[in-house]
Structure 1
Amino acid sequence: MDVDQIAKLKKISKQLRKSVICELSEAGSGHSAGCLGFADVMAILYFHAMRLDPENPNWEDRDIFVMSNGHYAPLLYATLAERGFFDKKELANLRKFGSKFQGHPERGSLPGIETTSGPLGCGLSQAAGMAYSLQYLGGNSERFVYCSLGDGELDEGNIWEAVMFAKKYDLANLIAIVDRNNIQIGGDTEKVMPLGDLADKWRSFGWDAQEIDGHDHSTIIQAIDKAKNSRQPSVIIAHTIPGRGVDFMEYDYRWHGKSPNAEEAERALAQLSEGGGE
Structure 2
Amino acid sequence: MTKNSIHNLEEIASQVRRDIVRMVHACQSGHPGGSLGCTELLVSLYFEVMDRKEGFDVDGIGEDLFFLSNGHISPVFYSVLGRSGYFPVEELATFRKINSRVQGHPTTHEGLPGIRISSGSLGQGLSVAIGAAQAKKLNSDDSFIFVLMGDGELQEGQIWEAALYAPHNKMDNLIAIVDYNGAQIDGPTAEILSLGNLRGKWEAFGWNVLDIERGNHMQSVVNGLYKAKELSGNGRPTVILLHTEMGHGVDFMMGSHKWHGVAPNDDQLASALGQNRESLGDY
TM-score with structure 1 setting the length: 0.94
Q: Larger deviation: 84-93 or 106-115?
A: 106-115
CA distance in 1, matches of 2:128, 2:56: 22
Partner deviation per Cα, 1:184-225 (whole Å, 9 max, x = no partner): 001001000001221121111110001111112222222222
- Are 2:18 and 2:278, in contact at CA under 8 Å, matched by a contact in 1? no
Report the counterpart of residue 246 of structure 2 in structure 1: 242
Q: Which residue of 2 aligns with 1:65?
A: 66
- In structure 2, relative to structure 1, the CA distance for the partners of 1:90 and 1:263 (3 Å cut) is same
Aligned to 1:14: 14
Number of residue pairs the alignment of both structures matches:
273
AA paired with 1:84?
G
For the 8 Å contact 2:70–2:149, the answer to whether it is kept is yes
1:131 aligns with 133
Does the 8 Å CA contact 1:171/1:233 hold for their aligned counterparts?
yes
Q: Could you tell me which amino acid in structure 2 is paired with residue 11 of structure 1? A: E
2:222 equivalent in structure 1: 221
Amino acid at match of 1:197: N
CA distance in 1 between partners of 2:194 and 2:127 (Å):
23
Moved more, 220-229 or 158-167: 220-229
Measured after TM superposition, the shift of residue 53 of structure 1 is 2.9
* Contact 2:21–2:269 (CA under 8 A) maintained in structure 1: yes
Deviations 1:158-178 (A, max 9, x none): 001111000111101100111
Distance in 2, Cα, partners of 1:268 & 1:28: 15
Tell me the equivalent position of 1:153.
153
SS at match of 1:237: strand
In the TM superposition, what whole-angstrom CA distance separates every residue of 1:96-140 from its partner, at most 9, and x where no partner exists?
1111111111125211111110100000000011101111x2251
Change over 3 Å in CA distance of 1:249–1:211 after alignment to 2: same
Which one scores higher on RCO, CA 8 angstroms, separation ≥ 6? 2
Query: What amino acid sits opposite 2:93 in the alignment?
Result: A
Structure 2 CA distance for partners of 1:274 and 1:80, relative to 1, 3 Å: closer
C-alpha distance in structure 1 between counterparts of 2:220 and 2:249, whole Å: 19
Using a 3 Å threshold, how does the CA distance of structure 1 residues 104 and 56 change in structure 2: closer, same or farther? closer
Structure 1 window deviating more from structure 2 (218-227 vs 60-69): it is: 218-227
What is the CA-CA distance between 1:62 and the residue it aligns to? 1.7
Paired letter, 2:229: K
Query: Which of 124, 127, 151 is the matching residue for 1:122?
Result: 124
The residue type equivalent to 1:113 in the other structure is I
Residues 27 and 92, structure 1, Cα contact 8 Å, conserved in 2? no
Tell me the residue number matched to 2:269: 265
In 1, Cα distance between equivalents of 2:169 and 2:230: 17
Structure 1 CA distance, aligned partners of 2:56 and 2:244?
A: 32
Shift of 1:273: 2.8
Instruction: Tell me the distance in 2 between the aligned counterparts of 1:56 and 1:67.
Output: 16
Give the stretch that moved more between structures: 121-130 or 216-225: 216-225
Contact 1:211 1:237 survives alignment (8 Å) = yes
Q: Decide whether the 8 Å contact of 2:14 with 2:278 is kept in 1.
A: no
| C-alpha distance in structure 2 between counterparts of 1:181 and 1:20, whole Å | 18
Aligned-pair distance for 1:54?
A: 4.2
Alignment correspondent of 1:197: 197
Asked whether the 8 Å contact 1:54–1:83 carries over to 2, the reply is no
Letter in 2 for 1:205: F
The 8 Å contact of residues 124 and 162 in structure 1, kept in 2 or not, is answered as yes
Question: What secondary structure, in the 3-state scheme, does the structure 2 residue paired with 1:272 have?
Answer: coil
Deviation readout 1:81-108 (Å, 9 max, x if unpaired): 1111111111011111111111111125
- In the superposition, the TM-score normalised over structure 2's length comes to 0.92
Check conservation: 1:152, 1:184, Cα contact below 8 A.
yes
Structure 1 stretches lacking a partner, 5+ long: none
Name the CA distance, whole Å, in 1 between partners of 2:250 and 2:39: 13
What is the CA–CA distance in structure 2 between the aligned matches of 1:259 and 1:7, rounded to whole Å? Answer: 29
1:256 maps to which residue? 260
Deviates further, 197-206 or 77-86:
197-206
The CA RMSD measured in Å over matched residues stands at 1.8
Deviation at 1:267? Answer: 1.1
In the other structure, the counterpart of 2:207 is: 207
